[in-house]
Amino acid sequence: MSKNSRTDRHVSAETITGVLKRVVAENGRDHIRGYLFAIFCLVVVAASTAFTAWIMEAVINEAFANRRADLVAWICLAILIAFVLRGFATYGQAVTLSKIGNNIVARYQRRLYSHLMALSVGFYSEARSARFAAQLSQNINGIRDVLNMTVTSIARDLLTLIALIGVMISKDALLTAIVFLVAPPLLLGLRYISKRLKLATREAVLINSHVLGAMQETIHGITIVKAFTMEDQLRAKVEGIIDQAEKRSNRIARLSERTAPMTETFAGVAIAAVLGYSAYQAIYGGVLPGAFFAFIAALLMAYDPARRLARLQVSLERAIVNARMIYEVLDIEPHQRDRPGATTLAVTKAEIEFRGVSFAYATGNAILRNVSFVAEGGRTTALVGPSGAGKSTVISLIPRFYDPAEGQILIDGQDIAGVTKQSLRNNIAYVSQQPYLFEGTIRDNIRYGRPEATDAEVEEAARLAYAHEFILSQPQGYDTPVGENGVTLSGGQRQRLSIARALVRNAPILLLDEATSALDTESEQAVQQALEHAMSGRTVVVIAHRLSTIVNADRIVVMQEGTVVEEGTHDTLAARPDGLYARLNNLQQPSGSLQEEDRKAGE
């Protein structure tokens, strides 16, 4: 992520306070009623806890020392009421905070998904998607934990501790002072641990995302793994990452749990000193034990909230690391926002013109150099050339998956950089070289091309793509689930559904990136005929490695090393003895006469 993509809010998110302020600002107002109710419940919990300690003096003195039978029933009733209130208040705050937390997680999931959809294709070409998704899934709960920890710590633990300290002071101020002598060294120790835990937590999140990412990649590429017997290599690689993750997690455990011996030791010193002093006063001073019992009860009850507060910075630091990594993603600025005042693309002839277009990916050398050509409206323009010539890059620039570094791309004389991406892409149907299907039914996947398409239009598009017959042979026809990325279908079937999805869109511009590459010979011929029918009246830009599929194209643009080296029809280009197209054509079909016969037969 570049420096320019970091906002001022992101800069402030480098500290616990900054992240906390941002989380509260984004979520506090929407959940203010729920948090107020949860805080009220937590106040009840704190008050009932303090009351239970405070009343111990009356229990000991009046029931056991003074033997006041008339007060025992009232004391017992008061204790019962306190515990009942505490139980209902605990339930109320737990359910409320859980509902708020779940809503926050769902909100950030929606927000992240929406933001990821707004990012350019270039972002995903630079990021490892499997690892990226794993990292997000681990960190999304950090936002929720930050708020819930803050609310419970302040409203329950802090208030409970303050109330109990009040009870302790009211019973014996000197003992309270003795207890507080151990607090400063404890806080200094916890601060030291927190700083070391911060870095370790971030490293652990990254390593764990590597583990999950590697597993996802193995699942997606299991066929290649098996075919190339890569099991041992990948196992060694992943086990190495897992070992790193285990060591890092063990380090976090050691750092996190190091607070336990510290707090327990300091607590032991404080309680032992209080008990010793209380016993001395009761034995040699003749003081009634009620106040001491109440003090000790308050001290013991104060231990848990004090321990949780002592660990708060450590626990909060871990949640903040997760939340900060989510904000790092949300703060990435989309590189391809519509320009201010962008207009809606008005398509008439659907003529596409490249004017001196140059392009380079962020991490490489120039792919296109001063590319200029015209794809006439309502006609088919084919891009051919050796691998790496830049053909797919040309296709990807038309729907603005990327923006050119220099030059212009115009549709009907309108620079596509100045129109909205939505209106641009609404006028384009696209079939990629790698067909991709989404989880759902066959009908759903075709209808993604145009959500309002009727069942009849979906089926007509399937017929044109030579897919109708194999769809009807499926167990549930058009309602057959395709599985993850169409795993239940063959490559050729997936490609035909991808073509049907493009055809049902009924757009004036059709982009075909080697759309027939996954088809067998019989299916290719049928789909080619269907495409020729579907391409009628549309502007088509097609990439083809098999030149036999584009011999009837109205214009052929020959590319080499990112530049246009030849243009013309099949006949004119094939007749040039020293031309690149003629050489490619001869390599694929050495006998020119046979090629001509095949072409005529196809006509």
pLDDT tens across 266-287, in order?
Answer: 777 777 777 777 777 777 766 6
Least confident window among 162-176, 255-269, 342-356, 562-576 = 255-269
Q: How many CB atoms lie within 10 A of CB 43?
A: 17
**DSSP string of 151-166, one letter each residue:** HHIIIIIIHHHHHHHH
| 305-to-17, 221, 296 alpha-carbon distances in Å | 22, 50, 15
pLDDT at 352: 95
Of 144, 179, 153, which Cα lies nearest the Cα of 45?
153
pLDDT at 72: 77
Are the C-beta atoms of 393 and 367 separated by less than 8 Å?
yes
Residue type at position 514: E
pLDDT at 592: 42
CA distance 388 to 378: 28
Asked if the model's pLDDT at residue 209 lies above 50, the reply is: yes
Are the C-beta atoms of 143 and 213 separated by less than 8 Å?
no
Are the C-beta atoms of 318 and 201 separated by less than 8 Å?
yes
Are the C-beta atoms of 446 and 505 separated by less than 8 Å?
no
Are the C-beta atoms of 437 and 485 separated by less than 8 Å?
yes
pLDDT at 456: 93
Between 589 and 277, where is the model more confident? 277
Between 416 and 517, where is the model more confident? 416
pLDDT at 85: 92
pLDDT at 132: 66
Opening angle at CA 144, ends 3 and 245, nearest 5: 70
pLDDT at 564: 94
pLDDT tens across 294-312, in order?
Answer: 887 887 788 778 777 766 7
Of 277, 297, 300, 24, which Cα lies nearest the Cα of 149?
24
Of 602, 453, 477, 454, which Cα lies nearest the Cα of 531?
602
Q: How many CB atoms lie within 10 A of CB 521?
A: 7
Between 491 and 576, where is the model more confident? 576
CA distance 325 to 336: 23
Between 133 and 456, where is the model more confident? 456
CA distance 98 to 148: 9
Using DSSP's 3-state secondary structure scheme, residue 508 falls into: coil
Report helix angle 312-330 to 16-27, nearest 10. 70
Give 601: exposed, middle or buried? Use CB within 10 Å, 0-12, 13-18, 19+.
exposed
Asked if the model's pLDDT at residue 325 lies above 50, the reply is: yes
Asked if the model's pLDDT at residue 595 lies above 60, the reply is: no
End-to-end CA, the chain: 53
Of 151, 46, 43, 139, which Cα lies nearest the Cα of 100?
151
pLDDT tens across 564-584, in order?
Answer: 999 999 989 988 888 898 888
Are the C-beta atoms of 569 and 382 separated by less than 8 Å?
no
pLDDT at 529: 67
Asked if the model's pLDDT at residue 458 lies above 90, the reply is: yes
Res. 359 pLDDT band, cuts 50 70 90:
very high
Asked if the model's pLDDT at residue 555 lies above 90, the reply is: yes
Opening angle at CA 358, ends 357 and 359, nearest 5: 125
pTM, full prediction:
0.65
- Phi (first) and psi of residue 538, to 5 degrees: -110, 160
Mean pLDDT, to the nearest integer, of 531-537?
71
CA distance 502 to 518: 16
pLDDT tens across 430-449, in order?
Answer: 888 777 888 889 999 999 98
Q: Per this entry, what is the length of the chain?
A: 603
CA distance 216 to 98: 30
Count Cβ neighbours within 10 Å for each residue of 261-271 and write b for 16 or more, e otherwise: eebeebbeebe
pLDDT at 10: 41
Res. 198 pLDDT band, cuts 50 70 90:
low
Between 36 and 61, where is the model more confident? 36
Are the C-beta atoms of 53 and 297 separated by less than 8 Å?
yes
Output the average pLDDT for the chain: 79
Between 508 and 232, where is the model more confident? 508
Q: Mind listing the domains of the chain with CATH numbers? A: 3-330 (1.20.1560.10)
Of 35, 52, 55, which Cα lies nearest the Cα of 87?
52
Are the C-beta atoms of 164 and 302 separated by less than 8 Å?
yes
pLDDT at 219: 67
Are the C-beta atoms of 155 and 89 separated by less than 8 Å?
no
Asked if the model's pLDDT at residue 60 lies above 80, the reply is: no
Share of residues in the chain with pLDDT > 70 (%): 80
Phi-psi region of 352 (alpha: psi -120 to 50; beta: other; left: phi over 0): beta
